[in-house]
Amino acid sequence: MWLLVHIICYTLILLAVHHVFSYWKRRRFPQEKTVLYWDFFKQLIRRELQYVKAINADYRRFRSQPFVGIYCRLKPCLLVRDLSFANSIMKTAGAHHFTNTKWDYSRNYRKYNLLEKLSPIFCKNQLEGMLPHIEKVGNNLLNHLNDRWRQDDKVIEVDAQYLISTFVINVLANLIYGSEIDHFKQTDNVFKQYVNEKLRNTRAYNFFLRQNSSITLREMLNENVQQREQSGLIRKDILQMLLKLRNGDNIEYNEKFTWCLKKDYGIKEKFLSLSKLTRIVEHLFDMGYESMAVTATFTLYEILKDDDIRQKIMQELEAFELTKTNCNTCVNYENLQNLKFMDLCIQETTRKYPSVPLIERQCCKDFKLPGTKLTMRDGDTMIIPLMAIQHDEKYYVNPLSYKPQRFVEDKSGEKAEVFIGFGFGAQICVAQHLIKLVIKLILVKLFLNYQLESTDSGSLKVDYKRLACIRAKKGFKIKLKKLLQK
């Protein structure tokens, strides 16, 4: 009797496991071999422990197929490994069929797409209004470096990764939370604590100890929200735009655009509750830090490693330096936009060192895959291995080499290689212009005031954390020598 019970139980378990791992096969999608043998379970374990490396290995393993069904954490995922096919999906489906679950905060407002609502925050005119805050942080960086000089010092050595990280945290705290703290002077502040705790590896640490800094930041945000909504305080930053969105104001730039909040905001229902606003702010801070700090660090590293690239940057900045004296401030938006070669360097950095190696999206509406009879259903997950694609010789010549010119059509008519560093189609990063603006400003501040030299003989190592972001393991040491001001 008991033997029969055991046999029935084992049979039911096997049938349940087979049902889970035959999801794509039942839907007539191509899928990985899911026979219950050790190699398959090894793949499942690897995807759990080394998610990014495992997906990159899967990209190389299924070279003959544009897409294939795989299983991650017992969840079926469609791995899209062909660049043109991925681009076609994202352009055809856009934000109405695939969502980034991190941003799906307006579930009570299903007719809205939150990323579309946020995108006007990062348009030209709004960023131009925020630039003085970013430049103020850049000046704090210069003051910090100048304070480190003793009278007999000709050269000082600093950790560029620490400087850039502090600069980015300061910029985000200023724009997103409205904080005026100088992080180069007040090093032990809640924003630094938040980032340091976020970078810890253990989940237990994140769960128990990170709560302190998160709670403090939420209290700070609540205080700023109440102050601005009640007193009508105007500050040209991201938080001001989020409050306009929260209160139903139009945030798209036009002739009638103003940074002020409407007077009657207290009467009607809020588009975003305070809790949803808090979550949006936290994710803007997290994702902004990951993208800006990583990209700025590796862009500076690659510029200093190659004398030709450094020379082109300095030539471009010579013209920049000549025009900056015509403005009341040291830099202006148009000056930064005219740094075209620096733009190419930032693009090449995001290709070679993408801060987010994988694009993961959830289908929120049935969608027929272009050129096929197959349909993705509501709730299905799609993974695009961005880093693996950008390191594939099929799409890029010498993909592991740093060549900013690869994105420019040459004189012989050779077609420029495609740039996908900030995403595909309608799912492109809405804050890409802010990211480039912040990176350009810190590079301009450093190169116009100092002669920079890298002290690292080898290459920076890449470290994949639990959040699948790239960081340098041992910092990035550089030597600074003051330039004579003209």
Domain contains 263: yes
Of 17-31, 90-104, 361-375, the one with minimum mean pLDDT is: 90-104
Closest CA to 423 of 467, 396, 469, 386: 386
Residue of 78, 80, 72, 81 whose CA lies nearest to 50? 72
How many Å apart are CA 272 and CA 236, to the nearest integer? 20
- Domain assignment present for 447: yes
Residue 354 has pLDDT above 50, yes or no: yes
Query: Structural domain tally of the chain?
Result: 1
Cα separation, 19 vs 379, in Å, equals 17
pLDDT score of 323 = 47
Most confident of 110-114, 263-267, 389-393, 420-424: 389-393
For residue 458 the two structure tokens come to 């080898």
**Which run of H or of E encompasses 221?**
helix 210-231
Q: Match 């035959």 to its residue by tokens.
A: 22
Q: CA-CA distance, 465 to 255, in Å (whole number)?
A: 45
| Residues composing the chain | 486
Residue 458 has φ and ψ, to the nearest 5°, of -95, -170
Compute the distance between CA of residue 50 and CA of residue 27 in angstroms, rounded to an integer. 28
- Per-residue confidence at 15, pLDDT binned at 50, 70, 90? confident
Q: What is the pTM of this model?
A: 0.88
Say what the alpha-carbon torsion angle 361, 363, 368, 370 is, to the nearest 10 degrees. -10
Query: Over 80: is that where the pLDDT of 42 sits?
Result: yes
Q: What is the pLDDT of residues 212-265, one digit of tens each?
A: 788 888 989 999 998 888 888 889 999 999 998 888 787 777 767 788 877 655
| CA–CA dist 82, 85 (Å, integer) | 5
CATH number at residue 271: 1.10.630.10
Tokens 């008991």 appear where?
2
Is there a domain that residue 383 lies in?
A: no
Q: Which residues contact 179 (CB under 8 A, 6 or more apart)?
A: 173, 191, 220
CB 259 within 8 A of CB 129: yes
Q: Under a CB-based contact definition with an 8 Å cutoff, are residues 158 and 477 in contact?
A: yes
Question: At residue 334, does pLDDT exceed 90?
Answer: no
Tokens of 279: 């979550």
Q: What secondary structure does DSSP assign to 339-363, as a single string?
A: -HHHHHHHHHHHHHS-SS--EEEEE
Q: How far apart are CA 370 and CA 232, in angstroms?
A: 50
The answer to whether 330 is a known ligand-binding residue is: no
Would you say residue 360 lies in a domain?
no
> Which pLDDT score is estimated for 473?
59
Kindly write down the DSSP assignment for every residue of 370-402, as one continuous string. TTSS-EEPTT-EEEE-HHHHHT-TTTSSSTTS-
Cβ atoms of 259 and 234 within 8 Å: the answer is yes
Residue 30 lies in a domain: no
- The CA distance from 88 to 85, in Å, is 5
E-strand stretches of 90-210: 98-99, 155-159
Q: What is the reported pLDDT for 426?
A: 56
Domain-embedded: residue 22: no
Domain that holds residue 172: 114-354+421-482
Residue 309 is predicted with a pLDDT of 95
Cα separation, 447 vs 453, whole angstroms: 11
- The residue that leads in pLDDT, 353 or 328, is 353
**pLDDT, tens digit (0-9, with 9 covering 90-100), for 185-215:** 888 888 888 888 776 654 444 555 556 788 8
User: For 248, left (φ over 0), alpha (ψ -120 to 50), or beta?
Assistant: left
Using alpha carbons only, what angle is made at residue 236 by residues 231 and 239, rounded to the nearest 5 degrees?
Answer: 70
Rounded distance between C-alpha atoms, residue 240 and residue 177, angstroms: 9
The residues near 106 (Cβ < 8 Å, ≥ 6 apart) are 112, 113, 114, 117, 271, 272, 276
Among 147, 167, 155, CA closest to 453: 155
SS3 content of the chain, % helix, strand, coil (to 5): 55, 10, 35
SS3 (DSSP) at 338: coil
Does any domain span residue 416?
A: no
> What interhelical angle do 307-324 and 432-449 show, nearest 10?
90
Q: What is the mean pLDDT of the chain?
A: 81
Q: Binning pLDDT at 50, 70 and 90, where does residue 329 land?
A: very low
Range list of β-strands (E), 14-99? 67-72, 75-80, 98-99
Indicate whether 107 belongs to any domain: no
Nearest to 287 by CA among 139, 176, 426: 176
Q: Residue 324: is its pLDDT beyond 60?
A: no
- Tens of pLDDT, residue by residue over 119-132, are 888 888 899 999 99
Q: Which residues are within 8 A (CB) of 161 and not within 5 positions of it... i.e. 6 or more apart?
A: 293, 297, 472, 475, 476
The token pair at 113 is 């797409």
Closest CA to 248 of 229, 220, 221: 229
The pLDDT value given to residue 432 = 87
In angstroms, rounded to a whole number, what is the distance separating the alpha carbons of residues 87 and 80? 10
